[in-house]
Structure 1
Amino acid sequence: MAALMDYDKALEIFEPVIGLEVHVELNTRTKMFSASGNPANDEFQGAGPNTLVSPVDLGLPGSMPTVNAEAVRKSISLGLALGCSIAPSSRFARKNYFYPDLGKNYQISQYDEPIAFEGSVEVELEDGTIFTVPIERAHMEEDAGKLTHVGGSTGRIQGADHSLVDYNRAGVPLVEIVTHPIFGAEHRAPELAKAYLGTIRDIARSLGISEARMERGNVRCDANVSLRPRGAEKLGTRTETKNVNSMRSVERAVRYEIRRQAAILADGGTITQETRHWHEDTGETSPGRPKSDADDYRYFPEPDLLPVAPSEELIEELRAQLPEAPAVKRRRLKAEWGFTDLEFQDVANGGLTDVVEQTIAAGAAPQSARKWWTGEITRLANAADREPADMVSPAHVAQLQQLVDAGTLTDKLARQVLEGVIAGEGDPQQVVDARGLAVVSDDGALIAAIDDALAAQPDVMEKIKGGKVQAAGAIIGAVMKAMKGQADAARVRELILERAQA
């Protein structure tokens, strides 16, 4: 394991400078330069290896790329949402180096003429602090395929005896968002990296341009970290930790690199400019390859594609369609719903803001909607390795809560009904009817159950009459058990106390 310096000590000696490159896979139906189905679109999830490919994706001789117009529109929308200027003309280029998972051994990207440039985005940290992150560019490109390493114990290339390549992802449309160097974050640099990645994810979701599922790799982050001695002007040598695909991992990777680099520099060593790999299991980074500069990629204009020249009318049309900025929307919703910082943080960090909002719009109280989505639904989703929003609709959650509010269900019964809804047994009322789960409110049935419980525990009534009202709990528990949880516990208590006073 590499030597690490205490984080606080590292920040006393060095100033951290970070830069973030976030790749967003667009959810167009087809790929960036071919008519193949796009696996970043939910429609094509689960496709077998190498089934979403074409001659263009495989780089076969004579195949010609064509630009996906919808990908261009979505890229412009993202650029506008980032506060960028949109180029009146932008050009694709070939980025050359060996890609084992791109058949043509170069990537079609944008180099000196990106579609969007010079913007900024407001990032809100957990305590409400707003940090403005400067955006250098957002450019269009294609994704590479995916390698599966076989024969090792870890699934990584180290120790594997061969690798399999799946070209389904080759050619998936990407927008790469590159920040300027970020100064002034200081000890909060890891936290800022995490919050920035979450902000980009939220923007992509709000625009509807990406599924933005980090666990699928729809949003990935390359985190650049360098250190310079306090008071120095020259930037330190940076490392680039590649393809980190969760907010928590980005935070941990940036913190680790600060501590690792600080230990090396304090010991008189030098930092190697290189890519690094993040290992979630060990919480460490490891060396990748020496980091190339732009000249090493031998960029030149893509000869098979014309420049992209969006009209001013198209740009203004897309600008008019921009939704409310996620950070602004969060602040508005938090105030409207009356949530504490911690309550809203639970919703936002779980990616549940939209479904909670829709549940409230369907008639549920804000606290009830929050309780269901951050509690039972998330628990069931985690157990099934699914997204909470895929488990049940906001409308059904609102209907479920309305049954609780009406006294038709207790919370315990409502959880059983939720499981039935998720299992496909119908809407909440249909599940209640089919399973016979409604609360028993018939006093006659409740009194009969109370009498049975009192007969089994004859001393309890005397205790209640003697002033020990809490003894009623034993009878309430017995009645609830006898009626399989379908009794109204509050009404049972009332009837027991009425009996004691008779």
Structure 2
Amino acid sequence: MVYENPDQVMIGLEVHVQLNKANTKMFCGCTTNYTDEEANTCLCAGCLALPGTTPVLNEKSVEYAIKIGLALNAEISDETDFYMKNYFYPDLGNGYQVTQFDKPIVKNGHIVIEGEDGELNVRIRRAHMEDDPGKMAHFGSIEKSTGSIIDFNRSGMPLVEIVTEPDMRTAKEARRFLDKLRSILEYLDVFDGSREGAMKADANVSVYLGTRVEVKNISSHKSVEKAINYEIMRQKDAHRKGKKLVQETRHYDEGRNVTISLRVKETADDYRYFPDFDLVPLYVGGRVEEIRAAMPELPDAKRERFVAQYGISDAHAKSLTSEKAFADLFEKVATKVDPKIAASWVADIVKGELNYRDLPVTKCDADDIACIIDLVGCKKISEESGVTIVRTMLDDGGKPDQIVAAKGLLMVGDDFLATAAKEAIAENPSAVADYRAGIEKALNFLVGKVMQKSKGKADARTARELVLKELGE
């Protein structure tokens, strides 16, 4: 049967969050800060699953899992336990992954995102703790690899896997969910999103209520969106041609923007879950309220506070709170200048210039931004010159006052502008006649002539006012 209703696309995500700020791995004392270290040096007998080693649970990773659950508006299980998830892969030293099965530490949560038709409540089915396997690198593409090498530095890293219900209908909604989740995790300070492997997603996609296909281990939010869009197109095309889809696991090839079949999808029974006899049941009920009391302000709450406290627009508040570092920068600037002007500069100009250059917020100093806003507010420089200063600081460094002096950005005075306005009117009688005849763009021409005489060192609004004054308006 051929279906044509696009609303029957169903998307669910499984997001693997590496708790790399837990300092040590999930079941041993090895460091989580392995990114810049030589391969196979940040490990121990436990990481390699050598005979006779036993796991010792990292308490900090449990605390982080509870914080994540609370931030997801979810239930925290009083009792949880660990299971062995059995499958063979060369980078899995034990031959099984330590995970949680029927008693996940977190269940029944939700996140509200911006959907295609307004707010969308994405349900969280569960979030559970597990350890990460090692990392394999293939010689060539995954399809035609001539060999592989393994780095066990990552083996044993603490993870929380967050599983959603299939509540998303478009790839754009899936990307928005990931953006919102990442923002929450950064506010919780449980992971460093800039580190390798910090956040990966598996996308489960089905169209027309048909067979579910999983696209595995996608590393960036942009790639998740592209992979889902491709998979929707592939599955719809198969339906149109009457081809049968199978439940399978696929790999997203970023270079070719296609998904590739890896294997037929396993079921829970294939993994032969059974309790990990080295780990006793974990009781966390007594810690939950203590952790809840210490929870930081999260993005949605901060956005509401910014609107109420600073009187800024909801759009600016949403932009500023999407990343904690931007929210912190704004609040520092807002203590020095008008908060509404600070919001406009940080959200619209500073954030845009940083994103264009793919630079972190740490490249901007609150005192420098406040200084630029003051210079513009006092009409010592134009707003355009203020933007020039931001760009120069990001590209070449320096302080606002130094850049103003070096580039000669100080604005000309009103006396100079008044003279320039008189000259522009005297030199362009045809434009004056057009303006008096009701042609509005003639006024813009005259203002432009004034700006030319000032070599861009004038406030355009002031120049316009002076031209109108000379015209007797």
TM-score, normalization by structure 1: 0.76
The Cα shift of 1:250 comes to: 3.1
* 2:334 aligned to which of 361, 366, 369: 361
Superposed CA offset, 1:232-274 (max 9, x none): xxxx432111122344443443343334334434544432221
The Cα shift of 1:50 comes to: 3.6
User: Does 1:292 find its partner at 2:266?
Assistant: yes
Counterpart Cα distance in 1 of 2:215 and 2:424: 70
Q: Residue 24 of structure 2 corresponds to which residue in structure 1?
A: 30
Counterpart Cα distance in 1 of 2:317 and 2:170: 23
* 2:187 aligned to which of 185, 196, 206: 206
The Cα shift of 1:318 comes to: 0.9
Q: Residue 232 of structure 1 corresponds to which residue in structure 2?
A: none
**Superposition map of 1:211-360 within 5 A:** 211-213=192-194, 216-227=196-207, 236-265=210-239, 267-312=241-286, 314-330=287-303, 333=306, 337-339=311-313, 354-355=327-328, 357-358=330-331
User: Does 1:11 find its partner at 2:13?
Assistant: no
Counterpart Cα distance in 2 of 1:353 and 1:104: 42
Please state whether the residue corresponding to 1:223 is helix, strand or coil: strand
TM-score, normalization by structure 2: 0.80
Task: Letter of the 1:206 partner, please give it.
Answer: Y
Q: Residue 437 of structure 2 corresponds to which residue in structure 1?
A: none
* 2:166 aligned to which of 159, 182, 187: 182
**Superposition map of 1:81-480 within 5 A:** 81-117=71-107, 119-126=108-115, 129-150=118-139, 152=140, 156-179=141-164, 181-182=165-166, 188-213=169-194, 216-227=196-207, 236-265=210-239, 267-312=241-286, 314-330=287-303, 333=306, 337-339=311-313, 354-355=327-328, 357-358=330-331, 361-362=334-335, 363-366=337-340, 368-375=342-349, 377-383=351-357, 385-387=358-360, 389-419=361-391, 421-422=393-394, 425=397, 427-429=399-401, 432=404, 435=406, 439=410, 462-463=427-428, 467=432, 470-471=445-446, 473-474=448-449, 476-480=451-455
Counterpart Cα distance in 1 of 2:385 and 2:207: 56
The Cα shift of 1:275 comes to: 1.0
Task: Letter of the 1:182 partner, please give it.
Answer: P
Superposed CA offset, 1:273-328 (max 9, x none): 2111123344432212221122222323223333322251x210111223445345
How many residues are paired up?
A: 458
Superposed CA offset, 1:65-88 (max 9, x none): 322111111111111222332222
Task: Letter of the 1:132 partner, please give it.
Answer: N
The Cα shift of 1:490 comes to: 6.9
Counterpart Cα distance in 2 of 1:36 and 1:249: 31
Taking only the aligned residue pairs, the percentage that are identical comes to 33
Q: Do 1:96 and 1:298's aligned partners in 2 also have CA atoms closer than 8 Å?
A: yes
Q: Do 1:273 and 1:290's aligned partners in 2 also have CA atoms closer than 8 Å?
A: yes
Q: Do 1:206 and 1:323's aligned partners in 2 also have CA atoms closer than 8 Å?
A: yes
Task: Letter of the 1:18 partner, please give it.
Answer: I
Cα 1:295/1:413, change in 2 over 3 Å: same
Task: Letter of the 1:160 partner, please give it.
Answer: S
Counterpart Cα distance in 1 of 2:380 and 2:387: 13
Cα 1:370/1:161, change in 2 over 3 Å: farther
Counterpart Cα distance in 2 of 1:459 and 1:299: 83
> Unaligned 5+ residue runs, structure 2?
434-442
Counterpart Cα distance in 2 of 1:424 and 1:318: 44
User: Does 1:20 find its partner at 2:1?
Assistant: no
Counterpart Cα distance in 2 of 1:486 and 1:76: 56
How large is the Cα RMSD of the aligned pairs?
A: 4.0
Cα 1:88/1:347, change in 2 over 3 Å: closer
Q: Do 2:203 and 2:228's aligned partners in 1 also have CA atoms closer than 8 Å?
A: yes
Superposed CA offset, 1:316-350 (max 9, x none): 01112234453454455467654375x66766778
Cα 1:466/1:123, change in 2 over 3 Å: closer
Please state whether the residue corresponding to 2:162 is helix, strand or coil: strand
Q: Do 1:19 and 1:223's aligned partners in 2 also have CA atoms closer than 8 Å?
A: yes
Counterpart Cα distance in 1 of 2:180 and 2:338: 27
Please state whether the residue corresponding to 1:19 is helix, strand or coil: strand
